[in-house]
Each structure stands twice: as structure tokens, then as C-alpha cells.
Structure 1
């Protein structure tokens, strides 16, 4: 009965959302701002630590997935939090440390030995992918760095959370992706900024250990059961460089270069401009294999473009988005390192790894109340057609995504409710999306 109540609730919420709002480009509540929490200057070694700042969040996260055709249902609920301490600045130096703790409060059987019709993929990712039966030992050191600031620029070394188009926290579970390495941000040119660095270790989302970049490549495929073949990849790490030019409030240009040593080179470019109430965006992605390896073919190249046309009103934003492959090969980039940056991207919808992609998305965003501007509800529809094992396939996803920040003394409490319905066509039976899926997620964050 609970399963069918869930379906009814999905359609009720979707219908009600036609009078509501969400803006997909807003900062999601399922994320934590990282960086300099504390700009205070210290005048002694003692004040360096005494004037430090503690911040973080408490999180409740519940996921449910139901397949009506096979009458299969899985659910998981996690509770945990994050605590970060950043010292004050002393002679430009700052140190930071932070960690995560998580508890499996309640879940259906997520073990590999369970008799599943399918792999409970999203429920697995809420805790520890490497040990699905682990319910208590789920803590992880997430930040441990030293940082030097000069004017508006800085250099940071150690463990940290980064946010770039392809390398990012993808933080909709209990543990986001975090990285170890060197990071530089130069911001002395006012309209022009450069940032980048080199990363040699990662703790992927939904895991508890720090591993080399080589070990992380293909980790999700092995742990989630989509690929039982272990492809050994040898790389010293990832070098990345971003350039950002914003000449005025109407135009912005971003260019990112990613070099996976001994594997491939990727460039991602984005140009956006505003004309009155209209916003237009264009993205170009290019990838080429640089050395023979076990991850990509030596002749592998990919060209992909993504475009957006959006109208922005006082309480309504509506956009048409289109992503198109210009080559037969698919995009190959480790999903362990982050989510996708394309205009057609919405939560739970990925095109990385798919060949000959033609993806179209319609996004409707509304803000209904002047006195509750943080209430954002969105209706999104995406259809992606592609080749799957040389057969034409497609995946349609309809999503209702509500996010809000409460008011008054509860202003630090935030909520996200995501409901999605997946309609596959042409998938092979062993694939995760071989039949229709109802999926729901509820996140509560209390930031401090």
C-alpha cells in the first residue's frame, strides 16, 4: 500500500507544482559553501587559532525507488553532519580541517547477496558503496589544508572540496566528492580571473576512503555492478585550469581545460549573454585521448555542444535546452569526480558515456510568493536519445524539484524534495533503466 501511496503523492505534487517555483541555477540546499568562512586577521599565533570559525550542517536524507512492472521497492534513510574549522588569517596563512559522520537509520536490504531484481543504485550511494552493509563506521576526513592569501588571490594545498564544471562535490547524498592537491585562484584582474591546480587523490562521493586518481577511475561501474571488468588506469593525476572573463553584467565567458595525465585532454567552454528578459547560452565540449590506456581508445575524440534560450520574468523562468553530440563517440569522464555541466542536465539524468546523444530539456521555474522568495519549485522534462550497444535507445525523465529555506528563527533550515519518473526505451534488460522507475528524495539541512 505504501508503494502505491507514493505514486499517488508524486502526481499530486507534480500537479500542485504548476502554481509554484524552482530555479535550477540557484544554489541547491544540498550543498555546503566552502572556502574562507572566516576572513578575520590574527595578530599573534594564539589569535590564529582562537579567532577561528566553526561551521557545518546536520543532514537528514531519505531516498525511495519503486519499479511498478517488477513490483520492486527500495528505500534508505541517513542521518549525519559535517563540521569544519577554519582558522583566522595570520600573515596571510590559514589552516582548515573538517570531517563527516553518517548513520544508516533505516534501509531495505542493500547487500550484494540480496535477491534483487535490480541494483538499488541510489540507495547504495547514500552510505558506503564499498561496503553496503556498513551502517555505523561511515565517517571521513574531508578537509585538511593550509592556505595562503594575498589580496583577493590565494593558493591552497591539502584536502579540499572543489567546484568546477566537471570536478565538483555532486552533493546530493551524505558524503560529497573531495580532492587532494594544489589549488590556485588569481583574482587581481577584476573582470578576469584564473584558477586551477593539480589533484592526485580523491575521496569519491558515497565512499569513506581516500584513493589515488588512478584507483578512482571506473570505481562506480565496478561497485554498482554495471561493469565487472577491472580496467587498470595509470595516471599521476588531474591538472585543470580555468579562465573567466566577465566584462559587464550582460556577458560572461568561462573556459576550462582538464588534462588527465596519460589518459586524455578535455576543454569545456561556456558563453552566456543577456538581452532584456532573455538569456542565451552556448557550451562546447571537446575531448581527445592523449596516450594509449585502458580507459579510452587511442583514437577517441568527442565534440558536443549544448545551448539554452531562457526567458526570465518576475516570478517565472522558462527555458529550452538542447545538447547534441557532433561525433559518434561518447563523453568519457570519471563520474567519481563530479556531475555534468550541460544545460540539459537535471538531477539523476546523465549523458556521460552515451554515444550519439541528442538531448532536449524543457525547464519551468516559478517563484509564487513575494514574501517567501526562497521557495523554488521546478518542473523539468528531459528526453535523451542515444546509441546503446549499437541500438537506438532513449530515456525520458520528468522531475518535480522543490527547494526552500525557512524563515525566522528557522532560517538556517533548508529542505529539498525531488520526485522523478523515468521512461526508458530500447535499453538492454541488464541495464539499470530497463523499465519505468518512480524515484523520490527528501533532504533536510540545518546549517550553522
Structure 2
């Protein structure tokens, strides 16, 4: 994909020449951002506990140019202030810590200080047409920024957007490189697959696809329809060349309840995924996905919303042949039952139930919320249906968001407390517990944003 990178560089060189033909004044906006993140994980058993405190600082610029063009850039720097020994292994489980390492560069845990270019792109907007070429953030159902940590996932590619009418929005993303969350560099797509834990292949052996997968590009098509009566329909197709093709349809609607300040909220998702090509490699032991896999997923939501409260109940069912797979380096699950700090990717079937409640205080800029979920998964010993050997579990998250603008404008605090427990405590192997269940996890996040125009 080097030819695409050359196009990007030539585009930036062309800009000063184009500006000479237009008298429009260049306008630059600069934003400084800081994020301080403390995280710790402890277990009910005698497993290795960990903690880490990381700091991120970023400078983001956006320069408006003549003819509807704009140049966007962002540089991020990262510092490990302190941590336990994240490279040390638990005596009983030969796996690295899963949570705290995500604050830093998972490929170079010895780095105390590092940085990377996040965004660097040329954007164009005129009328109902938009285009971005270069490095950018992304937020689609299967490829997205992901939750938390010190920086999001970035992709390199070409995005084209069309707005044929105010109620229809079409986006096409052609992607050829990625900088996953918790990394300090940019990578070809196939190079990035396997930087996070790889789990087991369908035969129960340690997966060997890292460094052996062949994929040149991803194409993501999103179509959003804003329909009448508070209704939204989203259609998505995610095509990963030589690996898989995924389709998702999501319908959301809110209903006014007569003689009440409440609204009912409903939603339903339907998704299918099937393997294509050779699944990443002709060698069965080296491929990422079995090309004969076919999975279907349905997810539903119902709830109530008022001015200060939000509650919903969710259900997801995963079923089919083989395992639903989506590289964790590229994004999180899009399903209604998703709860931060865990995913249901890598499963052949699952039944998940979750609920969420959120309350915003009237007198203070404070929001509290809770997630609760029950996840019934295949036997952790069954590698053909449970890639990461996760036992069925219950999860509880308690969270608080507080806007500290009475102290400093642009300062906010986010606290997350998470507990997970296996539903069946009998015959649990150490590898089924460490990084997975019977743990208590704390996140304290302080964000500070300084706009400068």
C-alpha cells in the first residue's frame, strides 16, 4: 500500500500551490489534551496482582484551507509514571498481564516514554460530499476506537462520505494500515493481527497466525437512515480481504409514552459473518479464520429514558458454525450486551444478558451508572467454540463521571470499578481465571482539554 502513502505526501505538497490561487485566509485551531490513567487488578485467589499509572499528552491541529480543504494532525506522547513489573509472568499461567499493559506499548513494554503520530490527513468538504485521505480515527461497528486506555485506535486510508439527503448518510472506508490502541507505531493490517493475546486455534493449539496472515485491505460501508418518529436504521458491511465478510443491520427507535415524561427505547441488531479466501493463510495451522465458518448474531434492547435517567435491558445470542472472530486490535464488539473491559469475540455460541442504569444529578455535573451482565459461554476447554478459554461469568461495573469545571474548565474525572466472577467455581484451571474472572479491577481517569483558536 505504499502507493497510497505517496499520494498522501504529494497531496500535502500540492496545498501551498493551490492556496496561491485563492485569497481565503488560512485558519488554524490547536487543541492540547492531557489524560492521566491509573489502573489496578487484583484477584480473589493467589494470582499476580498488577497496577499501572500512565500519562498521555497530545497536540491536535486543524488548518482550514481554500476550496474546502483542511489539514488535520495530531501527535501523542506517552509516559509510564509507575507500574508493577508488567513483563513478569504469574507462576501458574504463562501469560502476560492483560489489562495494565494496555496503557503502554504492548510490543515494547520496556519503553517508559514514547510517542506517535495519530491523525495526519487531508480532508475536503463541499456541499453533500466529504473525503478524508490519510491517518484518522474511525468509529464503525466492527472497526472502531475501542474503549478507554490512553489513546484510541487509528487507521490509514480513504474515507468518502455522501449526504444525498438530510436523512441518509453514506460512508465508505478503504483501509490499508492501522495503529492499534496500546501500540506506539503504525502497521500493515496483517502485521497488526496477533499483537493482543492470540488464544487457541480451533484444534486447541496456541494460535500461530501472528506474522503469518495475509490481508491487504479492509472495506467498510456504512449507511445510516434517519427515519420518521425517532427511528434510526444502520446498515454495515465490513469486508476484510482474504479473511471474512460481516454484515450488520441495526434498528433503533424511541417511543413517547402518553401522559408521562418518559420515553421507551427499543433496538434490534442482526449480524452474519462468513469466512472468505483462505482465512489468512493456506496452511491450516497458520490461518486466522476457517473460511468455512458461518456465524449469525442477534441482539435486542428495550428500556426507558427520562430527562435524568436511562435504563435498558439487553440480550445477545451468538450461534452458527465455527467461531465469530474479529481482530481485537481493530475494535470492540458492537452488540447491545457489550460491557467495557470484556468482549464476546472468539465464541462459537453464547447467550448474554445485560442491563444498564444511568442517573445524572440535577445540582451537580455528576453522572453515575452501572452495568450488570450474565454471559453463558461454551465450555472453556472447547477450543473449537471458545478461542480464549473464558468460562461463563457475571460482570458488574460501577462508574462515575464528574465534570470539574468549577475547578478548571475542560477538566473531568471518570471512575470505573469492575468485578467479574465465574458462574461455576468448580474445577477452574488457573489459565481460565487469570486475566478473565474472579477479579476486581479499578480505573481512575483524569482528562484535561485546552482549546486554543
CA distance in 1, matches of 2:23, 2:49: 54
| Partner residue in 2 for 1:370 | 362
Q: Tell me if structure 2 keeps the 8 A contact 1:112–1:132.
A: no
Shift of 1:330: 2.9
SS at match of 2:350: strand
Matched, 1:126 2:103: yes
CA distance in 2, matches of 1:434, 1:194: 38
Matched, 1:242 2:222: yes
Shift of 1:153: 2.8
Shift of 1:371: 3.1
Q: How does 1:114-153 map to 2 (within 5 A)?
A: 119-136=96-113, 138-153=114-129
TM-score (norm 1): 0.84
SS at match of 2:104: coil
SS at match of 1:355: coil
TM-score (norm 2): 0.83
Q: How does 1:200-215 map to 2 (within 5 A)?
A: 200-215=176-191
Q: 1:370 to 1:184 in 2, by over 3 A?
A: same
SS at match of 1:327: strand
| Partner residue in 1 for 2:152 | 176
Q: How does 1:301-320 map to 2 (within 5 A)?
A: 301-320=294-313
Shift of 1:233: 1.4
Q: 1:168 to 1:192 in 2, by over 3 A?
A: same
CA distance in 1, matches of 2:311, 2:167: 29
SS at match of 2:103: coil
Q: 1:113 to 1:308 in 2, by over 3 A?
A: closer
Deviations 1:63-101 (A, max 9, x none): 000012115321000112111111113111111111110
SS at match of 1:407: coil
Q: Tell me if structure 2 keeps the 8 A contact 1:130–1:223.
A: no
Shift of 1:341: 1.2
Matched, 1:334 2:336: no
Q: Tell me if structure 2 keeps the 8 A contact 1:214–1:237.
A: no
Q: How does 1:265-280 map to 2 (within 5 A)?
A: 265-276=245-256, 277-280=263-266
Deviations 1:185-229 (A, max 9, x none): 1124110110012100001110011111111122212599x9562
CA distance in 1, matches of 2:92, 2:124: 51
| Partner residue in 1 for 2:377 | 386
Matched, 1:102 2:88: no
Q: Tell me if structure 1 keeps the 8 A contact 2:22–2:66.
A: no
Q: Tell me if structure 1 keeps the 8 A contact 2:121–2:133.
A: yes
SS at match of 2:325: coil
| Partner residue in 2 for 1:28 | none
| Partner residue in 2 for 1:447 | 449
| Partner residue in 1 for 2:396 | 398
Higher RCO (CA < 8 A, seq sep 6+): 1
Matched, 1:219 2:195: yes
Q: Tell me if structure 2 keeps the 8 A contact 1:110–1:133.
A: no
CA distance in 2, matches of 1:103, 1:168: 24
Q: Alignment RMSD, CA only?
A: 2.5
CA distance in 1, matches of 2:318, 2:207: 27
SS at match of 2:99: helix
Gaps of 5+ in 2: 1-17, 257-262, 280-286
Deviations 1:98-142 (A, max 9, x none): 111010001000115686866321111100101112111x20011
Deviations 1:254-296 (A, max 9, x none): 0010000111110111001111110100011110112122111
Q: Tell me if structure 1 keeps the 8 A contact 2:97–2:435.
A: no
SS at match of 2:215: coil
